Amino acid sequence: MREAVIENPVINSAFVEPMKHFKFDDDGITSDIADARRPSAYFIPVAQPKKKGKQLELGTEWTDDRLRENDYINEVRAAVGDWRSRDYPGITRTSRHLLEYWQRADRDRRLFFCQLEAAETAIYLTECAPKLGKAYLLNRLEEANEAANPGLDRLAFKMATGSGKTVVMAMLIAWHALNKIENPQDARFSDSFLIVTPGITIRDRLRVLLPNDSGNYYRQLDVVPAELMERLNRAQVVITNFHAFLLREKVSAGKLTKRILAGRGASEQSAFTETSDEMVRRVCREFGNKRGIVVVNDEAHHCYRSKPAERDDEVDEADLKGEDKREAEKRDEEARVWISGLEAVKKKTFRRRPSSCAGQATLRARSSPGA
């Protein structure tokens, strides 16, 4: 691959919509600049033959036949951009107040454009798309969710590492909660939030999303006007990690004791282990009898259900050996626990599906800021 020399890689402001990008050609990225925002796209990696004693590697062949544009993402971007240019028609008074507050000129700490666009997209899809003749965008989301996550309504925001996705979580929680508190009968919104993280360290870092925490982002980063903080404090925010979805033992006993008491072998030991409903009651006990809980999945690319490889150039985990295979199995098991836990929460706390896609907000980081 040719190595391009780019003297200054920063050609856009972080605070406005990108209007330039570096071009790619068949040899990779170039120093040539196009006067337009880069469309959302990805390159399909090519699996290189595995040599004896070495791991299978994914090559990067930057050829046009391997470039795929994300047509749906680009269409949503265009729809949100048009809606933005018309001053956000069709939204609630609370949503307008927040959007104006987040963009006011005298902010000490301006929000990045990518943060605003993520919040705008959630607001647009939830409040405006059906009214403005774009219901098919929601239908496409439903079809994709049904194919990948039957029974779960998931909406993902893919943001660059360091672009402030925790702030976006705070923005989405504030938007949801303040709308719900303003109009409790509006089924599009919720004031109850379960934040699920991939580990204890990240869970502890996200305490900034608790409205009553002394270092909360709503006040510290000026996400919510001071006069609305009292209202936001009425929201219920619970932070956990996906390990909480593991079914725990209810009774401490040895394996032999369990087998004897179970009577019919080790396969029937449910009396000693939580049921899915009991697990959900434990994880969600702070919500009481609340329904319509919004789940925010941090690092959501860890939450999936494995599917067999669909293309010839994809890596089939059955071909992995040794440490690679054990690592893949560990990842898949953790992902299964996470998504199965979400399905159990949905089943236990289900109510009539609202006419929006806000059942779950999932955020994941990406390693480069090209989105």
Q: Is residue 77 part of a domain?
A: yes
What is d(CA 48, CA 45) in angstroms, rounded to the nearest whole number? 9
- 154 and 19, same domain (yes or no): no
Q: Could you tell me the two tokens for 91? A: 């939204």
The β-bridge relationship of strands 28-34 and 21-25 is antiparallel
Q: Is residue 246 part of a domain?
A: yes
- 250 and 153, same domain (yes or no): yes
Give 303's DSSP letter. Answer: -
Q: What per-residue confidence (pLDDT) applies to 218?
A: 97
- 174 and 100, same domain (yes or no): yes
- 36 and 75, same domain (yes or no): no
**Would you call 238 helix, strand, or coil by DSSP?**
strand
Q: CB–CB of 172/102 below 8 Å? A: no
> Structural domain tally of the chain?
2
Q: CATH number for the domain including 106?
A: 3.40.50
- 89 and 145, same domain (yes or no): yes
Q: If we measure between CA atoms, which residue out of 242, 204, 199 comes closest to residue 345?
A: 242
Write out residues in the chain with pLDDT < 50, as ranges.
266-269, 311-313, 352-359, 365-371
The β-bridge relationship of strands 236-241 and 192-197 is parallel
The residues, any chain, with a CB within 8 Å of residue 238's CB and separated by 6 or more, are 193, 194, 195, 283, 284, 286, 287
Q: Is residue 221 part of a domain?
A: yes
- 76 and 170, same domain (yes or no): yes
Q: Could you tell me the two tokens for 4? A: 């391009």
Residue range(s) defining the domain that contains residue 109 = 71-303+330-366
The β-bridge relationship of strands 236-241 and 46-47 is unpaired
Which residue shows structure tokens 């949100």? 80
- 29 and 107, same domain (yes or no): no
Q: What per-residue confidence (pLDDT) applies to 356?
A: 34
Q: If we measure between CA atoms, which residue out of 359, 345, 348, 331 comes closest to residue 245?
A: 345
Q: What per-residue confidence (pLDDT) applies to 178?
A: 98
Give 225's DSSP letter. Answer: -
- 65 and 99, same domain (yes or no): no
- 27 and 176, same domain (yes or no): no
- 28 and 177, same domain (yes or no): no
pLDDT tens profile 56-94 = 555 556 666 678 899 999 999 999 999 999 999 999 999
- 170 and 135, same domain (yes or no): yes
pTM of the model: 0.84
Q: Is residue 316 part of a domain?
A: no
Strand partners, 156: 362
